[in-house]
């Protein structure tokens, strides 16, 4: 996030795109809803499903899944054509404007409406004018932007729009991606990515190599970026990766093309899983290492707004359960390392030395202060808003990006579009939430959400068990007939092993960031005959 959660009341309005905010990020969602309902803020929502915030939107666009870039280009076409963009910001803070202008020229409202499956092209014009009048406007997105083969370009498009409107570097504005799990931001900051050290310092850089060899007492650190998760599974399936150590992740549930993942795990010579429950993935492990849950841990977490927060142990762990860092250290030392951490504070001291954006953050400070990185010195207050004076590269770069169709189009055999997501009572793969009696009673099973017109055509009744199939497999699941999705689009939450949505999803990848296209694939729904 370029901006902060506490700035939500400072925004004049909001664009929510690819984020079911009230269900996936309910605190932020409720803050936005409060501003719109009670303080008359303006709201534009773009989402294939009629999410709760759509009820309060000035304009709601129920686009076809995977057409985010097209509608963002359509908004920018209108803004540029009518001269509504922030000319001063574009001239002084950015470059590449002509490239963007030339790219979006063909994305007329009627052309975009055809791509996105929208009935009223004039609403694109009206919404673009409204967004140009919001000073400032905050843009929020989530996995409904990123989980496509065009995910990187989708993110670039959000940045294009906000730079065009001059909404960068100001309170209440910005491009604000909402993270899917607690401390995902912190994990990335710490280098849990295949191509970077902590603070996004590239592995393929000689100076970084020397820096971390000195800091860690290591020799010959590789300068070759590693594999992403799906690439690792593909390599394991092919026999090229022999072992995996999976910590706090449940890829049998969370990765696309579940059967392929299971076959990959079964092909490993060694699978170690470190987790708080015997997850679906842990059931394939040769070794399971029980680790502490969050209430049993000391340490820090970094949330979606780059805020570093302390975690305190309030419960003693069960016998034989250990901290994640302690388990990892014991394994490393048995493999020849000489790590001597006594506690989480020791590790954070090292983080401050090798992670420039964390250098000024201390345990004492985060107990008393709200600090967001970058915070380079102890005297620095932290950074609430990124890019106030300039961008990290100097001038912000407009990138003209074309709409790219999803990898898998519908056809006669698979005529419907499947998209996946979450529901409020359950969380991610259900590892924790499905062990809560209250949450499990509230949302005990999966469902496939079917538009009423499709239900009539398929002779399907609400609550009836149906078959949903893709080129990867089939599941049986209850139908929920509702008008939240467009006709010819079905939705399945991915929390439930008994009707696992990711048994169906496609594992094609964005060529840049290698994220799978979870949000769209071709499927068919069939009535199960007695």
Asked if residues 429 and 465 have their Cβ atoms less than 8 Å apart, the reply is no
What pLDDT, on the 0 to 100 scale, is given for residue 514? 87
The closest alpha carbon to 406, from 161, 76, 162, 63, belongs to: 63
SS3 30: helix
- Bridge partners, residue 307, by sequence: 372
Question: Residue 492 is inside which H or E element, if any?
Answer: strand 489-493
> In sequence order, what are the residues at sequence separation of 6 or more whose Cβ sits closer than 8 angstroms to the Cβ of residue 1?
174, 175, 176, 177, 178, 304, 305, 306
The pLDDT of residue 530 is 64
- 303-340 as b/e, with b when 16 or more CB fall inside 10 Å? bbbbbbbebeeeeebeeeebbbbebbbeeeeeeeeeee
> How far is 503 from 448, CA to CA, in rounded Å?
14
C-alpha torsion angle, residues 33, 73, 399, 383 (rounded to 10): -10
Q: Confirm if 135 and 12 have CB atoms less than 8 A apart.
A: yes
Concatenated DSSP letters of 222-245: --S----HHHHHHHHHTTS--EEE
Tokens for 332, please give them: 């490393």
Cβ–Cβ under 8 Å, residues 475 and 443? no
DSSP-derived secondary structure letter, 288: E
- Contact by Cβ (8 Å): 289, 323: no
Distance CA 228, CA 268 (A): 17
Distance CA 295, CA 408 (A): 42
Half-sphere exposure of 208 (CA within 13 A, CB side): 18
Which residue in 458, 432, 463, 460 sits closest to 445, CA to CA? 463
CB 379 within 8 A of CB 360: yes
**Per-residue three-class SS string for 337-349:** CCCCCCCHHHHHH
Nearest 5 degrees, angle CA 106-CA 139-CA 30? Answer: 140
Q: Are 490 and 523 in contact (CB under 8 A)?
A: yes
pTM of the model: 0.94
Pinpoint the alpha helices (H) of 241-368.
251-254, 258-266, 324-334, 344-354, 363-368
Q: What is the rounded CA–CA span in Å between residue 167 and residue 129?
A: 15
For 234-265, give one letter per residue: b (16+ CB within 10 A) or e: bebbeeebeebebeebbbbbbbbbbebbbebb
The domains found in the chain, sorted by start residue, are 5-178 (3.40.228.10), 184-368 (3.40.50.740), 416-527 (2.40.40.20)
Instruction: Report d(CA 368, CA 384) in Å as an integer.
Output: 16
| CB-count exposure of residue 502 (10 Å: 0-12, 13-18, 19+) | buried
Q: What is the pLDDT along the chain (530 residues), one digit of tens a residue?
A: 999 999 999 999 999 999 999 999 999 999 999 999 999 999 999 999 999 999 999 999 999 999 999 999 999 999 999 999 999 999 999 999 999 999 999 999 999 999 999 999 999 999 999 999 999 999 999 999 998 989 999 999 999 999 999 999 999 999 999 998 889 999 999 999 999 999 999 999 999 999 999 999 899 999 999 999 999 999 999 999 999 999 999 999 999 999 999 999 999 999 999 999 999 999 999 999 999 999 999 999 999 999 999 999 999 999 999 999 999 999 999 999 999 999 999 999 999 999 999 999 999 999 999 999 999 999 999 999 999 999 999 999 999 999 999 999 999 999 999 999 999 999 999 999 999 999 999 999 999 999 999 999 999 999 999 999 999 999 999 999 999 999 999 999 999 999 999 999 999 888 888 889 999 999 999 998 76
For residues 64 and 143, what is the distance between their CA atoms, to the nearest angstrom? 15
Residue 455 is given by DSSP the state H
Nearest-10 Cα torsion for 217, 222, 223, 228: -120
Check residue 100 and give its pLDDT. Answer: 97
- By the 8 A CB rule, do 49 and 21 touch? no
Is the Cβ–Cβ distance between 67 and 406 less than 8 Å? no
pLDDT at 439: 95
Provide the token pair at 225: 């970026």
């Amino acid at each position: 996030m370029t901006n902060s959660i506490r700035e939500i009341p400072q925004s004049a309005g909001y664009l929510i795109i690819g984020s079911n905010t009230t269900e996936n990020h309910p605190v932020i969602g409720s803050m936005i809803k409060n501003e719109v309902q009670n303080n008359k803020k303006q709201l534009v929502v773009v989402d294939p499903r009629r999410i709760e915030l759509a009820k309060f939107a000035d304009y709601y666009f129920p686009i076809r899944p995977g057409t985010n870039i097209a509608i963002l280009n359509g908004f920018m076409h209108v803004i540029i054509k009518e001269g509504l963009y922030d000319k001063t910001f574009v001239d002084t803070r950015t470059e590449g404007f002509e490239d963007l202008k030339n790219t979006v020229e063909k994305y007329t409202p009627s052309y975009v409406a055809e791509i996105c499956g929208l009935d009223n092209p004039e609403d694109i014009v009206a919404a673009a004018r409204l967004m140009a009048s919001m000073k400032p406007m905050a843009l929020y997105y989530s996995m409904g932007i990123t989980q496509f083969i065009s995910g990187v370009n989708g993110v670039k498009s959000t940045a294009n729009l906000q730079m065009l409107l001059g909404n960068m570097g100001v309170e209440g504005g910005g491009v604000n991606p909402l993270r899917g799990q607690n401390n995902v931001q912190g994990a990335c900051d710490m280098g849990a990515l295949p191509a970077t050290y902590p603070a996004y310092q590239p592995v393929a850089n000689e100076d970084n190599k020397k820096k971390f060899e000195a800091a860690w007492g290591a020799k010959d650190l590789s300068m070759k970026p590693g594999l992403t998760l799906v690439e690792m599974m593909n390599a394991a399936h092919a026999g090229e990766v022999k072992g995996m150590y999976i910590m706090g992740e449940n890829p049998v549930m969370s990765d696309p093309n579940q059967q392929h993942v299971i076959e990959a795990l079964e092909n490993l010579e060694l699978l170690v899983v470190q987790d708080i429950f015997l997850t679906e993935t842990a059931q394939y492990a040769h070794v399971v290492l029980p680790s502490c849950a969050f209430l049993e841990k000391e340490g820090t977490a970094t949330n979606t707004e780059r805020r570093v927060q302390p975690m305190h142990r309030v419960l003693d762990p069960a016998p034989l359960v250990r901290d994640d860092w302690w388990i990892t250290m014991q394994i490393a030392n048995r493999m020849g390392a000489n790590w001597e951490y006594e506690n989480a504070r020791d590790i954070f001291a090292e983080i401050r030395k090798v992670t420039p954006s964390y250098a000024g953050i201390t345990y004492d400070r985060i107990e008393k202060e709200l600090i967001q990185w970058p915070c380079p010195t102890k005297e620095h207050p932290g950074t609430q808003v990124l890019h106030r004076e300039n961008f990290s590269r100097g001038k912000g770069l407009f990138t003209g990006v074309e709409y790219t169709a999803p990898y898998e189009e519908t056809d006669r055999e698979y005529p419907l579009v499947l998209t996946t997501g979450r529901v409020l009572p359950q969380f991610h793969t259900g590892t924790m939430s499905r062990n809560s009696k209250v949450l499990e009673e509230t949302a005990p099973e999966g469902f496939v959400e079917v538009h009423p017109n499709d239900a009539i055509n398929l002779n399907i009744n609400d609550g009836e068990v149906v078959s949903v199939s893709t080129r990867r497999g089939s599941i049986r699941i209850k139908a929920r007939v509702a008008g939240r999705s467009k006709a010819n689009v079905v939705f399945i939450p991915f929390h439930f092993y008994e009707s696992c949505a990711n048994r169906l999803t496609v594992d094609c990848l964005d060529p840049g960031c290698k994220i799978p296209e979870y949000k769209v694939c071709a499927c068919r729904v069939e009535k199960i005959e007695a």
